[in-house]
């Protein structure tokens, strides 16, 4: 059994795999001790966007062979990023998984997380790069924290996101939600125009929220990073 660990900016996810099949998913609420209890885990891989030394400590204490993902690890795709040492491990893992799902296509992977990240892998298995912009919650917090009077809006308290806001809250909702929607739509259109034969794969905590708002044909995969980590681990053992 393999253990894939995604240490993100806001949460930690643990995925238990048998070969390529994801069997169970846990979060930091269960904790690494619970994940390791009574499970025969032979190998583990960690993606670190955030910081958590406790996870690595427990893996080492339990004598589980562990690798930490970086651009220097053997990968099933070629990294052409000019500064691979600055490339987030979650972006690498998600791109590996997305490309494995659509091997013959150009793939644009969009992660709706703390940030909205765009990663493009062409049909030659080459990671070309992408883009990073603020995520939804980050945008709401920025409007509140960097102004004197704008409130902190919770999008989950609203059922609709009209184009024309009729008060301050709904105006902020329109700016943030529709702004991300149009940003994503425009970027997808630009990639499709330039490269063609494009498949879009979405993941991240806010993916379900935005996929329902977008009209594009987007393949949603909530545990894409965990799946990519497992593929990379199997590629190295």
Cα–Cα distance for residue pair 217/57, rounded to 1 Å: 42
Give the catalytic positions in this structure.
Answer: 90
Cα–Cα distance for residue pair 48/93, rounded to 1 Å: 11
Cα–Cα distance for residue pair 215/208, rounded to 1 Å: 13
């Amino acid at each position: 059994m393999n253990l894939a660990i995604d240490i993100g900016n806001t949460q930690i996810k643990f995925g238990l795999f048998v070969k390529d099949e994801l069997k169970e998913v846990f979060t930091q609420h269960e904790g690494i001790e619970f994940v390791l209890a009574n499970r025969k885990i032979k190998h583990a891989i960690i993606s670190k966007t955030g910081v958590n030394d406790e996870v690595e400590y427990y893996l080492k204490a339990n004598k589980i062979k562990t690798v930490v993902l970086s651009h220097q690890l053997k990968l099933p795709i070629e990294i052409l990023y000019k500064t691979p040492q600055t490339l987030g491990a979650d972006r690498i893992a998600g791109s590996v998984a997305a490309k494995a799902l659509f091997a013959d296509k150009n793939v644009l992977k969009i992660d709706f997380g703390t940030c909205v990240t765009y990663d493009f892998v062409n049909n030659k298995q080459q990671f070309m790069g992408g883009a990073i912009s603020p995520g939804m919650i980050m945008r709401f917090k920025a409007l509140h924290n960097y102004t004197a009077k704008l409130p902190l809006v919770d999008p989950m308290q609203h059922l609709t996101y009209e184009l024309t806001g009729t008060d301050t809250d709904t105006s902020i909702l329109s700016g943030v939600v529709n702004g991300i929607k149009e940003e994503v739509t425009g970027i997808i259109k630009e990639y499709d125009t330039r490269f063609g034969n494009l498949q879009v794969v979405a993941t991240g905590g806010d993916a379900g929220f935005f996929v329902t708002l977008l009209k594009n044909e987007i393949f949603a995969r909530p545990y894409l990073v965990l799946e990519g980590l497992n593929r990379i681990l199997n590629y190295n053992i």
